[in-house]
Amino acid sequence: MIIRNPVYIKEVRASNRSHRQISVFLIFNGLLAIAGLYVLGKIIRGMNQEDVVNYSMILQLYMILVTMECSMLFLVLPGLTAGSISGEREKRTFDSMVSTLLTPLSIVWGKLLAVMATVFILLISSLPVLSLVFIFGGIRYADILISIGGMFILSFYIASAGICFSAWGNRSLVSAIVSYSFLFFVTGGTLLISRLTQILGLESDAVLVMGEQAIPWYHYFLLCNPIFTFYALLNMQVGSRDVVLSFINYQNEYQPNAVTEHWIFISLIVQTIMAVIFLWIAIQGIKNKR
Amino acid sequence: MLEIKGLCKCYNGESILDNFEMQVGKGQIFGMIGANGTGKSTVIKILAGLINPDQGRILMDGAPFLSNVNTMKRMVGYIPDNFGIYENLTVKEYMEFFSASYGLRGLKGRDRWETLLEWVGMTEHKDDFLEHLSRGMKQRICLARVLIHDPQLILVDEPVAGMDPVTRSVVKEILKKLKEEEKIIVVSSHVLTEMTDLCTHIGIMDKGQMLIQGEQSEVFRRINMSNPLHIIVLEGQDQAVALLKRDASVQSISMEGGHIAIQFDGDEQDESNLLSTLIGYGIRIQAFYREPGSLESLFMEVTKERAGES
């Protein structure tokens, strides 16, 4: 079904020979390599000075590389998706495309697949840099695979949102602005909401019984936050399982519940559902005959 | 036969199509003529399934046309005014994309688009990138891709804008072939002179309505009836003028040497009778004809009449 989608084939052909795509690959892997080599150099200098291998530094290298990769990926995605459908309108190829037998679903699906193919190549192309963490050991292949898999799934969510905004926009610039605004809301905005009462100093003055309060509803916005999910996933890999609770429950007044216990799994489901909703809205955007 | 009845479309409260009517038969090339903003593209886009009408019926061979989107799309080939070209694909990739979009894959699809490229004379350019082709070549490629699924109804929006002579002749040739295949071809344009050559039937649009439509010669004839009748007399001018003055259908006479121009109110039968009378009186006539109208004059005439009515 994937390779038979004409939109996907067209997109991959067109994007693979574009200068923009090559630049994205170069900058993405270049920055990652510079960061990786810098931290590795620091580790080696430390080893030379102290004559011991500091394995926590290797863990740090892994965390830095993977976090950086994930952040860059999320920053690149709205740019990749913003023009996917609105660009067709701008270049005035949209009418020709939708007048064929292609269904709105196959158009959206083809566009999404093409973006996910780029994400996949970006992730695979970063493997040589990520493998720096294997020089001294301490990180398993499975950890890298889980991180890459996590990034891929979360990218699906961000890409779906970008395609949705692109399907409803007539101009790629507007779609890009809305996509980035959405990204900043779900990443920074949800963190802000979670900490709003603390920031505004609205915390209850009542004497709290430690660990017995229900978690307030606004903290659950974090389930939509892909960076937070990835942060939780990374921390789970390095053995800090209670990172979610320690962020939300920094004063230890809340009672853990099933959601905090299975945060990563639930947030992935929530974000997948949101991605499907975005794709459905994108389809309506194409169906919409103005 | 394609029939459009009572089609209405409004944008932001402004009426674009107002009770629009049109009939196009098989094997006809129908030219929709009108100034910019008269609703030509809206009609084309409704027929291509890109816009929904607010009201009205579209029938193809008596059956509702817009009710089944897939069936409709199979029947329609649509060329937008800007062609819808993907600049960063090769001609071959472009044709493959559109043939796959109509479910034609593999050898079947390849055979079809190769034949069409041959038709439009672009076979040797199949590995070229579209961005490197001239506008005329892009137009030809676009015409080839629109025929990929062998549509019954071909919609061409402003086809002649910027068309070079080679492309014009190729397009004309292909449209002629399609006409012979009993296709229904609807062409919209505001470049009137080009439409005279291209179309068998014409319709003149203004303010979202079809003012006049029919076979090109018939439409011309209807409008030309108000044009002066020219008679070039070699011998017997005075006698001819005297006879003309006696004819009730002659409204006015002007004369310059042997060239007499009259405003004649009669139909073709009356014209024939008048000619017989003149010849019967021994007047030697070199020419007897209605002043031919151009599409421009026809368009101006029709829109002027409408302005007068409103």
Domain ranges for chain B, please list them: 2-213, 228-290
On whether any CB of chain B is under 8 Å from the CB of A17, the answer is yes
In this predicted model, which residue has the larger pLDDT, B149 or B12?
A: B149
**Would you say domain B228-290 falls under CATH 3.30.70.100?**
yes
**Structural domain total, chain A:** 1
Domain that holds residue A51: 6-287
Q: CATH fold of B2-213, please?
A: Rossmann fold (3.40.50)
Question: Which residues 6+ apart lie within 8 Å of B129 measured at CB?
Answer: B87, B88, B89, B90
Name, of A47-56, A85-94, B249-258, the range with top average pLDDT.
A85-94
Q: Is residue A1 part of a domain?
A: no
Half-sphere exposure in the Cβ direction for B11 (13 Å, CA) = 10
Taking CB atoms and an 8 Å limit, are A96 and B84 in contact across chains?
yes
Which residue is associated with the tokens 């004309």?
B172
Q: How confident is residue A210, by pLDDT bands cut at 50, 70 and 90?
A: low
Contact (CB, 8 A) for A111 and A82: no
Distances (CA, A) of A171 to A74, A90, A165, A167, A174: 21, 6, 10, 10, 5
Contact A10 B93 (CB under 8 A): yes
ipTM of the complex: 0.84
Strands B229-235 and B284-290 turn out to be antiparallel
Are the C-beta atoms of A183 and A73 separated by less than 8 Å? no
Greatest C-alpha distance within chain A: 70
User: Which residues of chain A lie closer than 8 angstroms to B49, CB-CB?
Assistant: 99, 289
For residue A4, what pLDDT is reported? 82
**Interfacial A residues in 209-248 facing B (CB < 8 Å):** none
By the 8 A CB rule, do A102 and A163 touch? no
A139 pLDDT band (50/70/90 cuts)?
confident
How confident is residue B155, by pLDDT bands cut at 50, 70 and 90?
very high
Residue B158 has pLDDT above 90, yes or no: no
Q: Does B52 touch chain A (CB under 8 A)?
A: yes
A70, pLDDT greater than 60: yes
More confident residue, B253 or B309: B253
| Residues whose CB falls within 8 Å of the CB of residue B58, separated by 6 or more in sequence, listed in order | B2, B3, B4, B5, B7, B46, B47, B64, B65, B66
Name the residue among B240, B247, B256, B192 with its Cα closest to residue B220.
B192
* Percentage above 70 pLDDT, chain B: 92
CA distance B37 to chain A (A): 17
Instruction: Tell me: pLDDT of B125 over 60.
Output: yes
| Cα–Cα distance measured from residue B219 to residue B195, given in angstroms and rounded to the nearest whole number | 13
Tokens of A95: 């009418």
Q: Is A19 on the interface with B (CB under 8 A)?
A: no
**Angstrom distance (rounded) from CA A241 to CA A12:** 39
Calculate mean pLDDT across residues A168-176: 91
pLDDT digits 0-9 by tens, B162-200: 677 777 788 888 888 888 889 999 998 877 677 777 888
Q: Would you call B78 helix, strand, or coil by DSSP?
A: strand
| Separation between Cα atoms, residue A279 and residue A115, nearest integer Å | 13
Task: Determine the Cα–Cα distance for residues B260 and B262; give it in Å rounded to an integer.
Answer: 6
- How high does pLDDT run on average in chain A? 86
Q: How confident is the model at residue A218 (pLDDT cuts 50, 70, 90)?
A: confident
A197-201, B127-131, B249-253: which has the minimum mean pLDDT?
A197-201
Asked if the model's pLDDT at residue A207 lies above 60, the reply is no
Q: Does B113 touch chain A (CB under 8 A)?
A: no
The percentage of residues in chain A with a pLDDT greater than 70, rounded to a whole number, is: 90
